[in-house]
C-alpha cells in the first residue's frame, strides 16, 4: 500500500487545524453573539461549552483520524462497517458549506477592489444590496448571474485548488501565510480600534457582563452552537487532518492548543470589532446597540462605512480588512475541500489532482445559485440548515455511536489510543463529556430548532424555498451517504 501523506512538521498540522477553525465565524459571528447574549457574561457559557463539549469532541475526532490513519468515512467504517455513511454525510455537509462560503469570499475579493476608491460611497447599504448584489424582490426571482461575483468565486477557487494541490504537503506550507497574516492584520485592527475615540463605549457594550442572561437556556445553546461551528467539528475536517499526522504525535495537547487559539482569536476579533463600532457610534451620534448588526451586513455595510470615516489611510485599512477576511476564510474553505478529497482518495485510490479539480468544478456549479440576484436569500437558507442541522446531527451521532453502540472500538479504543501518544491523559471526565454533557446539549439544541421550524419557516421564507434549500438537501445528502456506504471501496 502507498505510504500515507504526512504533515511536514507538528507546526504545519497545528497551523492547518487552527486555520480551519479560525474563520469568518471568529470575526463577525462571535462578537455579535457575545453581545446579544449577555456581553462579558457570555464568556462563561462559552468557556463551559468549549471545555465540556468543544475540546472533548476535538480530542475524539483527532483520535479517530489518527488511530485509523483514514479520513472520516473509512475511519468510521473501521469502528463499524455500518458507520461509513456518517462520514460521507459529514463530507457532503462540508461540500454544502464550502459552496456558499466561497461565494462570500468572492464578495471579499470584489470589496477589496472597491476599497481602493471607496466606491461604496455614503450609502453603503444601498451599494451592497442594490448595486453589488442587485438583490431581487424575492427568493424565487432568481434573475441572472452577477458577473463580478462569479469572477470573485472563480478567483477564490483557483486559490483553493492551488493551496490543496498536493494535499497536506502544499497545505502545510500555505498555512504559514494564511494563519499568520490574518493574525497580523487583526493585531493592527485591535490597535487601530482601541486608539479611536469612542472605543471605550464600544468595549463596555461588549464586555460588561449581564449575569441575568445566564439564567436563559438560549444563551447556553448559543454558546454550544458557536463553539461547534467555530472549531470546525462535525464536518470531517479534523478527522482528515489528524489522519496525516505521523504515528507518534500528541493528540490531547494539540486539541487544547488549537481550541484555545481559536477562542483567543474570537476574543481579539471582538475587541477589534467593538472598539471600532464604538468609534462609529461616537462619530455618527448613534448608540452602540444601534450600530451592532449581524451577519454579512457587519462586514459589507457597517465596516465599509467605518472605513470611509477613518481619519487617515482609509483605502489601506479597507484593503487590509478584506485581505484579512480572505486569508481568514481561505484555510477554512480548503480544509473542507481537503476533507472531501481525502475521503474520495481513501475510498477509490484515485489520483489527487483530478479529484481536486473535479471537486472545485462541482462546487462552483453548486455555488452558481448564490451568485444570482436571489443569491443572498439562498445563501442564508442553506447556511442556516447546514450549520444548525448538518453539524449538530453529525456531532450527536458521533457521540452516540462511538460512546454507546460501538464503544469497544469507539470511545474505549480511542481513549486508549489518545493516552498512548499524549502527554496529558484523558480520564473519566472525557467520557462523561462525550457520553452525557455533549449529547444532552446537542439533543436540546436539535429539539428546540425543530420546534421552531415547525412553528414557522426560517426567517419567514416561503415554505417551498425552505424545503428546497434546507430539508431536501439534507435528505439528499443522507440518501447519497447511505448509497456510498454500500459501494465497495477499492482494495477493501
Site string for ligand PFF, 31-60 (x = CB under 6 A): ------------------------------
| Per CB under 6 A, 230 contacts ligand PFF | yes
Interface pattern 231-270 for ligand PFF (x via CB under 6 A): -x--x-x---------------------------------
| Shorter beta-carbon distance to ligand PFF: residue 30 or 35 | 30
Task: Please report how close the Cβ of residue 13 comes to ligand PFF at its closest, in angstroms.
Answer: 16
Residue closer to ligand PFF (CB basis): 271 or 330: 330
Q: Which of 6, 17, 19, 23 is close enough to bind ligand PFF by CB under 6 A?
A: 23
Interface residue with ligand PFF, options 18, 20, 388, 449 (CB under 6 A): 20
- Hey, CA dihedral for 375, 376, 382, 383, is it positive or negative? positive
Selected range binding ligand PFF among 150-158, 226-234, 399-407, 482-490, rule: CB under 6 A: 226-234
Binding range to ligand PFF, per CB under 6 A, among 79-87, 111-119, 185-193, 329-337 = 329-337
Pick from 168, 190, 199, 336: which binds ligand PFF (CB under 6 A)? 336
List 26, 52, 243, 254, residue binding ligand PFF (CB under 6 A):
26
Provide the minimum distance between the beta carbon of 234 and ligand PFF in the complex, in angstroms, as a whole number: 8
Pick 85 or 229: Cβ nearer ligand PFF: 229
Options 50-58, 330-338, 355-363, 477-485: segment touching ligand PFF (CB under 6 A):
330-338
Binding residue for ligand PFF, selected from 52, 335, 422, 485, defined by CB under 6 A: 335
Site for ligand PFF, residues 74 to 133, rule: CB under 6 A:
94, 97
Q: Smallest distance, Å, CB 142 to ligand PFF?
A: 27
User: Smallest gap, in angstroms, from Cβ of residue 14 to ligand PFF?
Assistant: 15
**Inter-CA distances, 161 with 157, 333, 366, Å:** 6, 10, 16
Nearer to ligand PFF, 278 or 340 (CB): 340
In whole angstroms, how close is the CB of 11 to ligand PFF at the nearest point? 20
CB of 24 to ligand PFF, least distance (A): 5
Number of residues located near ligand PFF, criterion CB under 6 A: 16
Nearer to ligand PFF, 95 or 120 (CB): 95
Count of Cβ atoms closer than 10 Å to residue 275 Cβ: 25
Q: Which is nearer to ligand PFF, 28 or 406 (CB)?
A: 28
- Minimum separation from the CB atom of position 21 to ligand PFF (A): 5
Is-contact 42 259, C-beta < 8 A?
A: no
Rank residues 24 and 319 by Cβ distance to ligand PFF and give the closer one. Answer: 24
- Does residue 45 contact residue 219 with C-beta atoms inside 8 Å? yes
CB of 232 to ligand PFF, least distance (A): 4
Please, what is the Cα angle at 8 between 7 and 9, to 5 degrees? 90
Stretch that binds ligand PFF, among 17-25, 170-178, 211-219, 394-402 (CB under 6 A): 17-25
Q: Which is nearer to ligand PFF, 198 or 343 (CB)?
A: 343
User: Least CB distance from residue 308 to ligand PFF, whole Å?
Assistant: 26
Of these, 42, 100, 111, 229, which contacts ligand PFF (CB under 6 A)?
A: 229
Question: Do the Cβ atoms of 35 and 281 come closer than 8 Å?
Answer: no
- Can you give the three-state secondary structure of the chain, one letter per residue? CCCCCCCCCHHHHHHHHHHHHCCHHHHHHHHHHHHHCCHHHHHHHHHHHHHHHHHHHHHHHHHHHHHHCCCHHHHHHHHCHHHHHHHHHHHHHHHHHHHHHHHHHHHHHHHHHHHHHCCCCCCHHHHHHHHHCCCCCCCCCCCCECHHHHHHHHHHHHHHHHHCCCCHHHHHHHHHHHHHHHHHHHHHHHHHHHCCCCHHHHHHHHHCCCHHHHHCHHHHHHHHHHHHHHCCCCCCHHHHHHHCCCCCCCCHHHHHHHHHHHHHHHHHHHHHHHHHHHHHHHHHCCCHHHHCCCCHHHHHHHHHHHHHHCCCCHHHHHHHHHHHHHHHHHHHHHHHHHHHHHHHHHHHCCCHHHHHHHHHHHHHHHHHHHHECCHHHHHHHHHHHHHHHHHHHHHHHHHHHHHHHCCHHHHHHHHHHHHHHCCCCCCHHHHHHHHHHHHHHHHHHHHHHHHHHHHCCHHHCCHHHHHHHHHHHHHHHHHHHHHHHHCCCCCC
Q: Which stretch binds ligand PFF (CB under 6 A): 21-29, 42-50, 156-164, 423-431?
A: 21-29
Residue 259 CB contacts under 8 Å (≥ 6 apart), including other chains: 21, 50, 54, 55, 58, 231
Least gap, CB of 18 to ligand PFF (angstroms): 10
CA proximity to 91, closest of 63, 65, 55, 67: 65
Residues that bind ligand PFF (CB under 6 A): 20-21, 23-26, 94, 97, 229-230, 232, 235, 237, 332, 335-336
Amino acid at each position: 500500500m502507498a505510504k500515507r501523506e504526512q504533515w511536514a512538521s507538528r507546526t504545519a498540522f497545528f497551523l492547518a487545524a487552527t486555520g480551519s477553525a479560525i474563520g469568518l465565524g471568529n470575526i463577525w459571528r462571535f462578537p455579535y453573539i457575545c453581545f446579544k447574549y449577555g456581553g462579558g457574561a457570555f464568556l462563561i457559557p462559552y468557556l463551559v461549552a468549549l471545555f465540556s463539549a468543544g475540546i472533548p469532541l476535538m480530542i475524539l475526532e483527532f483520535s479517530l483520524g489518527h488511530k485509523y490513519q483514514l479520513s472520516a468515512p473509512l475511519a468510521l467504517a473501521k469502528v463499524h462497517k455500518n458507520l461509513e455513511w456518517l462520514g460521507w454525510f459529514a463530507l457532503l455537509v462540508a461540500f454544502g458549506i464550502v459552496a456558499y462560503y466561497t461565494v462570500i469570499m468572492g464578495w471579499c475579493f470584489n470589496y477589496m477592489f472597491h476599497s481602493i476608491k471607496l466606491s461604496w460611497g455614503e450609502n453603503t447599504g444601498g451599494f451592497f444590496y442594490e448595486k453589488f448584489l442587485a438583490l431581487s424582490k424575492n427568493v424565487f426571482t432568481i434573475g441572472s448571474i452577477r458577473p463580478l461575483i462569479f469572477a470573485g468565486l472563480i478567483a477564490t477557487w483557483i486559490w483553493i485548488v492551488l493551496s490543496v494541490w498536493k494535499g497536506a504537503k502544499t497545505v502545510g506550507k500555505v498555512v504559514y501565510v494564511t494563519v499568520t497574516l490574518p493574525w497580523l492584520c487583526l493585531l493592527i485592527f485591535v490597535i487601530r480600534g482601541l486608539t479611536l475615540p469612542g472605543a471605550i463605549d464600544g468595549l463596555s457594550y461588549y464586555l460588561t457582563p449581564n449575569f441575568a442572561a445566564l439564567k436563559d437556556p438560549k444563551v447556553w445553546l448559543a454558546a454550544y452552537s458557536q463553539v461547534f461551528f467555530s472549531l470546525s467539528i462535525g464536518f470531517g475536517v479534523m478527522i482528515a487532518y489528524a489522519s496525516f499526522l505521523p504515528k507518534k504525535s500528541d493528540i490531547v495537547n494539540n486539541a487544547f492548543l488549537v481550541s484555545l487559539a481559536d477562542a483567543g482569536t474570537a476574543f481579539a476579533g471582538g475587541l477589534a470589532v467593538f472598539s471600532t463600532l464604538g468609534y462609529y457610534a461616537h462619530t455618527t451620534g448613534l448608540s452602540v446597540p444601534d450600530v451592532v448588526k449581524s451577519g454579512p451586513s457587519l462586514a459589507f455595510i457597517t465596516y465599509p462605512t467605518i472605513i470611509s470615516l477613518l481619519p487617515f489611510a482609509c483605502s489601506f485599512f479597507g484593503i487590509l480588512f478584506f485581505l484579512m477576511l480572505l486569508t481568514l476564510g481561505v484555510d477554512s474553505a480548503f480544509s473542507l475541500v481537503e476533507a472531501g478529497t481525502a475521503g474520495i482518495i481513501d475510498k477509490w485510490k484515485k489520483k489527487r489532482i483530478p479529484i481536486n479539480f473535479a471537486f472545485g468544478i462541482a462546487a462552483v456549479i453548486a455555488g452558481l445559485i448564490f451568485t444570482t440576484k436571489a443569491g443572498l436569500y439562498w445563501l442564508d437558507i442553506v447556511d442556516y440548515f447546514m450549520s444548525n442541522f448538518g453539524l449538530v446531527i453529525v456531532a450527536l451521532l458521533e457521540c452516540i455511536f462511538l460512546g454507546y453502540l460501538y464503544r469497544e472500538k469507539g470511545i474505549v479504543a480511542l481513549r486508549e489510543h489518545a493516552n498512548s501518544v499524549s502527554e496529558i491523559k484523558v480520564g473519566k471526565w472525557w467520557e462523561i463529556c462525550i457520553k452525557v454533557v455533549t449529547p444532552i446539549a446537542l439533543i436540546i439544541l436539535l429539539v428546540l430548532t425543530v420546534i421552531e421550524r415547525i412553528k414557522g419557516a426560517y426567517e419567514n421564507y416561503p415554505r417551498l424555498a425552505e424545503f428546497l434549500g434546507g430539508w431536501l438537501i439534507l435528505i439528499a445528502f443522507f440518501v447519497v451517504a447511505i448509497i456510498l456506504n454500500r459501494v465497495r471501496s477499492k482494495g477493501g
